[in-house]
Amino acid sequence: MDKEDEQTRTVTDADLAVVRLFPVIWVPIEAGAPAICEFDELGQRALGNDRVEEYRRAMRAAEVLVQLGELSPGRYEYENPLGEMPSEFQPFIENRYADVRGQRVSIEVTEAHLKLLHASNMQVVDEGGFHIRVEMHCKRPYGDMTYFEIDMGAILGIEPEGPPRADRPQQRDFSEPQLQKFAELHEQTQPVLQVLLQQATLLPGRYVRESRWAPWQQADLLH
């Protein structure tokens, strides 16, 4: 796909219908981050090999939905598509960052979660065919910082409340309670992203961006 196509997405209702089916997994690399992953072999067979292009279009539409999809804060429930997958791929369960009963997941979606997801560094990783996914950058999930809590604080308007920094005494580090809250919010982006894929709204139309990491913008609507 050429550069111009990479900066353009045409999203249809049919694309969004497939997006609703995508599972969200945790990628346990660096700080860890959620990814919209490809179907397993069973899911691919259910969709049908003749629909691979439909699948690929939907995955690219999902990248736009993460940033621009509209979802109201509140409590949501869903059936966990990951089932009994090991905890390293869904750490929010072991850390009790959501209410899990059997295969039902319940999560309180807040404005903070939505701000983080809308501002996150999401990218399409395309290895051909069904092997295409959308993942949050594991090292710099919310901006340019590897110490990504700084980016989280900026997005959420939270000022550091910890001790003065040794190298810059005029500035403060985040306190331990603040860092713990950031860690909780970050891991909760996995179940919140699953909710967003299933229930967020996005108007069908053409969306454009200036570069790979630039924000998506709506260009025109489909009639």
| pLDDT, tens only, 124-171 | 999 998 889 999 999 999 999 888 999 999 999 999 998 888 888 778
Percent of the chain, pLDDT > 90?
Answer: 73
pLDDT of residue 138: 94
Which whole-number Å values give the CA distances from 132 to 53, 88, 103, in the listed order? 11, 21, 26
Instruction: Write out the two tokens for 154.
Output: 């900026």
Which whole-number Å values give the CA distances from 133 to 34, 75, 100, 149, in the listed order? 11, 27, 26, 25
pLDDT above 80 (res 45): no
pLDDT above 60 (res 42): no
Query: Whole-prediction pTM value?
Result: 0.91
Percent of the chain, pLDDT > 70?
Answer: 92
- CA-closest candidate to residue 109, choices 120, 118, 98: 98
Go through 146-163 and write b for each residue having 16 or more CB atoms within 10 A of its CB, e for each that does not: eebbbbbbebbeeebeee
d(CA 184, CA 143): 18
d(CA 178, CA 200): 29
pLDDT of residue 104: 97
Q: Where are the domains of the chain?
A: 3-152+189-218
- CA-closest candidate to residue 66, choices 160, 190, 223, 163: 190
Which whole-number Å values give the CA distances from 54 to 94, 165, 167, 205, in the listed order? 35, 51, 52, 16
Sheet holding 104-109, edge to edge: 74-79, 104-109, 99-101
42-46, 72-76, 99-103, 179-183: segment of lowest average pLDDT: 42-46
The residue-averaged pLDDT of 206-216 equals 90
- Residue-wise pLDDT for 48-96, tens only, equals 667 888 889 999 999 999 999 999 999 999 999 998 899 999 999 999 9
pLDDT above 50 (res 1): no
Q: Which sign does the torsion angle of CA 116, 85, 199, 15 carry? A: positive
The pLDDT confidence band at residue 47, using thresholds 50, 70 and 90, is low
- CA-closest candidate to residue 105, choices 24, 13, 12, 215: 24
